[in-house]
C-alpha cells in the first residue's frame, strides 16, 4: 500500500520521506511481531506510539496515554493564565467561562475518539475538580468536599457529559452517511475472541447514553434524526 501511495504521489512530483515515516502494528498482544516495510530500499521505523494531529496513537489502541497527555496540557494552559483565572476581583462566573473556553478546549481536543475506561473517567473528573479548586484557591488542608465546592461556585460536574455529547454528535453524523469512515466503524477483524474479560468498546458508553442495547438499534436511531435528537435530549436533560 505504501508503494502504491508513493507511485501515485510521484505523478504530482511529491515524495514520501522514509526518515519521517513511521509504522505501527496495533494489536492486543503485547509481544507482537515486527513489521518489515521497505520504501526506496530504506526500512520504515516501527514505533509503539506516535503523535498524529495532536493525538497519541498507541500499539494497543488504548486512549489512556492521550487522555493523560491532554490533562497535562490542560493544566499547563491553566497555569499560563493563572493570574487571570484565580483573580478574586473578577466575577466568578466570568472566570468559569474562561476555563470552559480556553482550558477545557485543550483538555477535550479529539475526545470524540476516546474509549474511556473507569480509571480514565476518574482522572478526567479529578482534573475537572483540580481546575475549580485552583480557581477558588481552595487548599486540600481545608478538607472541603467536592460537592460543597461545586455548590459554592454554583457549578456541577459537566466535563464527562460534554465529552459524551461530542462523541454522540460525531457518531450520529458518521452513521447517517454511507462513506469510508462508516465502513471503518462497522468493520470487523477476523479471528477468535481472546480469553478473559473483554476490553471496553468505543460504542459501550454511547449505546448506554442513547438507551440502545445493540449497535443495530443505535444505527436505526441515528438514521432517524428526530429519534436521535429525542434520545440525546433524554440522555442530557439533567
pLDDT digits (tens, 9 = 90+) for 172-226: 888 888 777 777 777 777 777 777 788 888 889 899 999 998 888 998 998 888 9
Residue 53 placed within a domain? no
Question: Is 132 among the domain residues?
Answer: yes
Question: Predicted confidence band at 19 (pLDDT cuts at 50, 70, 90)?
Answer: confident
Q: What is the pTM of this model?
A: 0.85
Provide the pLDDT for residue 23. Answer: 86
What pLDDT does residue 110 have? Answer: 93
| pLDDT value of position 34 | 80
**Total structural domains in the chain?**
3
pLDDT greater than 70 at residue 31: no
Among 137, 157, 177, the domain boundary falls at: 157
Domain with 217 in it: 163-186+201-235
Q: What's the pLDDT at 43?
A: 86
Alpha helix segments (H runs only) across the chain: 2-10, 64-80, 82-85, 92-98, 104-107, 118-136, 146-152, 159-175, 180-186, 202-209, 215-223, 225-235
Contact 26, 14 (CB under 8 A): no
Q: How far apart, in whole angstroms, are the C-alpha atoms of residue 110 and residue 121? A: 16
How many other C-beta atoms are found inside a 10 Å radius of the C-beta of residue 237?
6
Nearest alpha-carbon partner for 206 in 108, 119, 112: 112
Amino acid at each position: 500500500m505504501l508503494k502504491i501511495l508513493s507511485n501515485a504521489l510521484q505523478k504530482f512530483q511529491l515524495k514520501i520521506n522514509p526518515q519521517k515515516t513511521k509504522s505501527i502494528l496495533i494489536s492486543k498482544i503485547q509481544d507482537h511481531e515486527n513489521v518489515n516495510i521497505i520504501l526506496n530500499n530504506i526500512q520504515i521505523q516501527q514505533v509503539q506510539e506516535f503523535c498524529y494531529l495532536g493525538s497519541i496513537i498507541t500499539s494497543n489502541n488504548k486512549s489512556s496515554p492521550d487522555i493523560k497527555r491532554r490533562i497535562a496540557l490542560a493544566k499547563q494552559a491553566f497555569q499560563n493564565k493563572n493570574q487571570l483565572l484565580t483573580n478574586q476581583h473578577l466575577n466568578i462566573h466570568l472566570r468559569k467561562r474562561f476555563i470552559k473556553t480556553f482550558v477545557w478546549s485543550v483538555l477535550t481536543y479529539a475526545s470524540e475518539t476516546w474509549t474511556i475506561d473507569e480509571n480514565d473517567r476518574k482522572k478526567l473528573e479529578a482534573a475537572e475538580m483540580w481546575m475549580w479548586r485552583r480557581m477558588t484557591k481552595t487548599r486540600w488542608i481545608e478538607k472541603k468536599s467536592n460537592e460543597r465546592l461545586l455548590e459554592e461556585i454554583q457549578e456541577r460536574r459537566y466535563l464527562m457529559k460534554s465529552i459524551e455529547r461530542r462523541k454522540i454528535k460525531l457518531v450520529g453524523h458518521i452513521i447517517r452517511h454511507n462513506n469510508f469512515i462508516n465502513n471503518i466503524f462497522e468493520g470487523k477483524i477476523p479471528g477468535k475472541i481472546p480469553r478473559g474479560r473483554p476490553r471496553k468498546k468505543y460504542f459501550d458508553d454511547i449505546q448506554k447514553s442513547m438507551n440502545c442495547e445493540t449497535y443495530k438499534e443505535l444505527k436505526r436511531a441515528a438514521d432517524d434524526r428526530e429519534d436521535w435528537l429525542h434520545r440525546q435530549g433524554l440522555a442530557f436533560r439533567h
